Amino acid sequence: MNDRALFAVLAAAFALSSRAAASEAMSLQEAFVRAADAVKPAVAAITAGSAEGEETQPYAPVFREPEEFFEQFFYTAERSDTARAQKAPDKRRVHDTGSGIVVTTGGYILTNNHVVRWTDEVTVTFSAAPGKKLPGRVVLRDKAADLAVIKIEAAGKLPCARLGDSSAIRAGEWAIAVGSPFGLEQSVTVGVISAPSQKLPIGQGSYIDVIQTDAAINPGNSGGPLVNLRGEVIGINTAAYSPAGDFAGIGFAIPVNRARELISDLP
């Protein structure tokens, strides 16, 4: 085979390889799109506010209860400003924002307890109905796991998220976080499972098992789903480690199998 023929063969092989790589990349892209589309209808934005006149304390990293540990990662801008200014406690209405996952067609929504820890009354917004806010109330809490269940009354059945098996996940698998970071609804970020199980200290001699991921998790993602490529919820996004205040590629989610224990008796 002369040089010209060899070059032609190599060029053809390279073209085939490029087309195959592009096709594989497009297939992976479509897998991400399908997974996001499968879960987004069941993801809601949650707003919780303390009652007018309730005293609020400036932020201090002294964790007496599990939700106080997670709250250090998802403090609202208002509270963060108060902390930085080192102001004395004042009396005003404070609002926390987060995300939630519809787990039954009858209107039960799973979220983090630290999102709703200040009140039992919340407001729920679905992106499919922008501007339509539904009142909700907290009906179940699991402080040790930083989980809570909200009930809303909706007209008709709600789309539900499919729950996966968090005991089957492996380091290196794809992970997709969905939620409302900084109030941006239906935001999707992609990463991998960094560790299927990490033990985080939440008190003296107390630990909680969490999933570690490098999918971006920011304030407002808290309570939203971490899903696999099949669109199944494998975790509830809970916190992000950011010692400098910037994204450090270390986020945490409560394994969905822990949440199953809380919602197993819901109608």
Residues with catalytic function: 114, 146, 222
DSSP 8-class letter at 184? -
Task: Return d(Cα 74, Cα 98) in angstroms, integer.
Answer: 9
Half-sphere exposure (Cβ direction) of 242: Cα atoms closer than 13 Å: 18
Task: Return d(Cα 267, Cα 262) in angstroms, integer.
Answer: 12
SS3 8: helix
Q: How far is CA 105 from CA 123, 155, 209, 267, in A?
A: 18, 11, 29, 9
Place of tokens 């916190």: 239
